[in-house]
Chain A
C-alpha cells in the first residue's frame, strides 16, 4: 500500500484528531496540551508539504472516501461519482500549504499568548476544528462536503471570535459574523441543492462536466458568488471583518486570514472549475473585477482613518482581498479568449494567486505583531501606544518587514505579486492600475502611521515596564517572517514551483473534470 495516496484523508484526520483528543491530553497538564497543539499543527504542515510535493510530481490527487481503492473515482462501471471525493490539484495543494503554515505559526504563538487565560482546552479544540474546516474547504471535490466544511470552519470561528466572552465587543463581533455567515451558508446550501436537483450529482467535477448555463444555473452562480465573496470580506458585504478580526485573539485572527482565503478559493473554484468557459457573458467576471476594485479602495480608505491597530489591519484585509479579486477577475474575463489569456489573463491570475500566498503570510504576521503589542501593553489603541521600538526590538523588526511587504515596497514579496497585477490589469483599463497604485500608497501611509505612533517617538511613562513578548510568540512571528523573506528572495522559484502550477490548475477545467470523470485511474 502506498501511504502517500492517503495523504488527503490524513490532512483532515490529523487536525480533527487534534480537536477531539485535546480534552484527553489536557488531563496531562498545560505542558502536554501545548506540546500536543504545536505537534499536531506541525504534523499538518508536514502533510500539506508532502501533498504539495506529490501533486507537483504526479498531478491531481483523488481520494474516494470509503471506497475499496482510494483512487477509484468511478467504481463498478458507474457513470458518475457518488461517494465523497477529495480532489487536490495544484491550486488546492498551494492553498493547503499556505493555510498550514499560518495554522502552525498561530499555534506556536498562542501557546504563550493565551497562557494568561482559562478555557485553553476549548480554545485548542476549536483551533483545530477551524484548521480542519479550512483544509476541508481547500481539498474537497464535493459540493455538499464543501458546505459542511464551510459550516465547521464557521462554527469554530464563532466560538473563537467570542473566546474572550467577558468582553461585550467580542460577543457582538461574533454575533455579527454568525448572522452574516449563516446567511451566506443558507445561500450556498440553496445553490448546491439547486445544482443537485438539476444534475443529480454533488461532485464538482461531475456537475462541471454536465453544466449548461440556464436560468437556475445563473441564479446558483449569483448566490455562490455573493455568499463566498462575503465570506472572504468583499465590499460592500465586508462589514463583519474588522469587528471579527479585531476582537478575536491574535493567534485566531492569524488563522482567520487563511480561512477567509479558503472562501476566496471556493469562489475561484466555482468560477473557474465549476462553470469555467460556460460562465457565459462577462457579467460575473466584471462583477468580480468591480468587487475587487471597490474592496481595494474603500477598504484602504477606512484603514487610513482608524486608530485601533487591529481594526486598521482588518480594513487592510478587505483592501488586500480586493487585489486578489481584481487579478483573478481579469483572468476570468480573459478565460474565453486564448489571445487575451496569453497576453495578460494568465499573468493576472498568477498575480492574484501569488498575492493569496503573500497576503496570507504578511497579514497573519501583522496580526501577530498587533497581538504582541496588546500582550505587552494591554491596549490596541494607537493613540495610547508609542516608543515601543526600544522595548520590543524583535516585534518592531518583524512588524517593519510585514508592513513593507503589505505596502508593496520593493524588494519585498508584496511588490512582486502587485507588479504582476498592475501590469496585467492595465491591459483591461488603466483605471484599474491607477486604483491599485493609489491603494498601495494609502496602505503605506497607514502602516507608516502605525509604525510611527506605536514604535517610534519618545518612551511613554506608562510603558516603562513593558518588555519584549515571550519566546513562543516571537517564534510564531519568526516563522512567518522567514516565509516572507524566502518569498522575497526567491520570487522566480516561488513563481515556477508554487504559483504557476496553482494558476495552471485553476484554468485547466478539463484536467479538474478529467481526474474524476476519467475514473481516477
Chain B
C-alpha cells in the first residue's frame, strides 16, 4: 500500500515526499517563529501600503481582474491566439464543419495508409 510506484524508468514514493513536506513545513514555521514579536495589530503597522496613497475601502478597486492576468503571455502569442480564438467562433456551422472535415479526412486516409 505504501510501496513505491515504478514507472519503468523511475519511481514515485509518496512517503518520501510527505517526509520532505513535513521537514520543509517545520523549517518554514521555525523561520516564522524567529521573526519580530513587537508587531502591533490594529495600528498603522498592519495597513496595506498602496504607493503612499490612501487605500480604497472597496477591495474591488485594488484587485487585478482575471482578464489582465498573463497579459504579456497573450501579447507575445497574439498571432497564435488570433487563429485559435477565431476557430472558436461559437457558430454551430463551424463546429459541424470541423467535425465533417475530420471525419472525412480520417475515413479517406484509413483506406490508403
Q: Is A473 an interface residue when CB atoms closer than 8 A count as contact?
A: no
Bound complex: CA of A245 vs CA of B50, how far in Å? Answer: 39
Q: Is A458 an interface residue when CB atoms closer than 8 A count as contact?
A: yes
Number of B residues, CB within 8 Å of A? 50
Bound complex: CA of A240 vs CA of B95, how far in Å? Answer: 8
Q: How near does chain A come to B55, taking the closest CB pair, in angstroms?
A: 9
Partner of B95, one of A176, A187, A416: A176
Quick one: CB contact mask for B9-30 with A, threshold 8 Å, 1 for yes? Answer: 1101010011001000000000
Number of A residues, CB within 8 Å of B? 67
A492 touches B2 (CB 8 A): yes
Quick one: CB contact mask for B67-87 with A, threshold 8 Å, 1 for yes? Answer: 101100110000011001101
A386 touches B92 (CB 8 A): no
Which residues from B are CB-within-8-Å of A3? none
A230 touches B99 (CB 8 A): yes
Q: Is A430 an interface residue when CB atoms closer than 8 A count as contact?
A: no
A187 touches B8 (CB 8 A): no
B84 touches A457 (CB 8 A): no
Bound complex: CA of A187 vs CA of B65, how far in Å? Answer: 44
B57 touches A461 (CB 8 A): yes
Bound complex: CA of A205 vs CA of B70, how far in Å? Answer: 51
B60 touches A490 (CB 8 A): no
A460 touches B95 (CB 8 A): no
Which residues from A are CB-within-8-Å of B84? 298, 301-302
Bound complex: CA of A459 vs CA of B63, how far in Å? Answer: 9
Q: Is A105 an interface residue when CB atoms closer than 8 A count as contact?
A: no
Q: How near does chain A come to B86, taking the closest CB pair, in angstroms?
A: 12
With contacts A416-B12, A489-B14 taken as known, whether A458 is within 8 angstroms of B106 at the C-beta atoms is no
Bound complex: CA of A411 vs CA of B17, how far in Å? Answer: 7
User: Would you list which residues of chain A between 459 and 504 have a CB under 8 Å from chain B?
Assistant: 459-462, 488-493, 495
Bound complex: CA of A302 vs CA of B70, how far in Å? Answer: 13
Which residues from A are CB-within-8-Å of B70? 304-305, 445, 449
Which residues from B are CB-within-8-Å of A236? 87, 98, 102
Which residues from B are CB-within-8-Å of A415? 12
B92 touches A175 (CB 8 A): yes
Q: Is B34 an interface residue when CB atoms closer than 8 A count as contact?
A: no
Quick one: CB contact mask for A217-238 with B, threshold 8 Å, 1 for yes? Answer: 0110111011100100000110
A492 touches B4 (CB 8 A): yes
A386 touches B60 (CB 8 A): yes
Partner of B67, one of A383, A490, A495: A383
Task: Pick from B60, B65, B66, B107 the residue with the most CB of A within 10 Å.
Answer: B66
A411 touches B14 (CB 8 A): yes
Which residues from A are CB-within-8-Å of B96? 179-180, 183
B7 touches A491 (CB 8 A): no
Q: How near does chain A come to B10, taking the closest CB pair, in angstroms?
A: 6
B2 touches A453 (CB 8 A): no
Bound complex: CA of A427 vs CA of B104, how far in Å? Answer: 31
Q: How near does chain B come to A370, taking the closest CB pair, in angstroms?
A: 13
B66 touches A382 (CB 8 A): yes
Q: Is B113 an interface residue when CB atoms closer than 8 A count as contact?
A: yes
**Closest 8 interchain pairs by CB?**
A458-B59, A382-B66, A383-B65, A222-B107, A283-B113, A307-B66, A461-B58, A453-B66
Binding site for B on A (CB under 8 A): 175-176, 179-180, 183, 187, 215, 218-219, 221-223, 225-227, 230, 236-237, 239-240, 242-243, 281, 283-284, 287, 298, 301-302, 304-305, 307, 343-344, 347, 382-383, 385-387, 410-411, 415-416, 419-420, 423-424, 426, 445, 449-450, 452-453, 457-462, 488-493, 495
- A sample of 21 cross-chain residue pairs with beta-carbon separation below 8 angstroms, ordered by A number, consists of A180-B96, A187-B103, A215-B111, A219-B107, A219-B111, A222-B106, A223-B107, A237-B98, A304-B70, A304-B74, A383-B65, A386-B63, A420-B5, A423-B7, A423-B8, A453-B64, A453-B66, A457-B63, A460-B59, A461-B58, A491-B5
Q: Given contacts A183-B99, A411-B17, list 6 more A-B pairs with CB under 8 A.
A: A219-B110, A226-B102, A383-B65, A416-B12, A424-B8, A453-B69
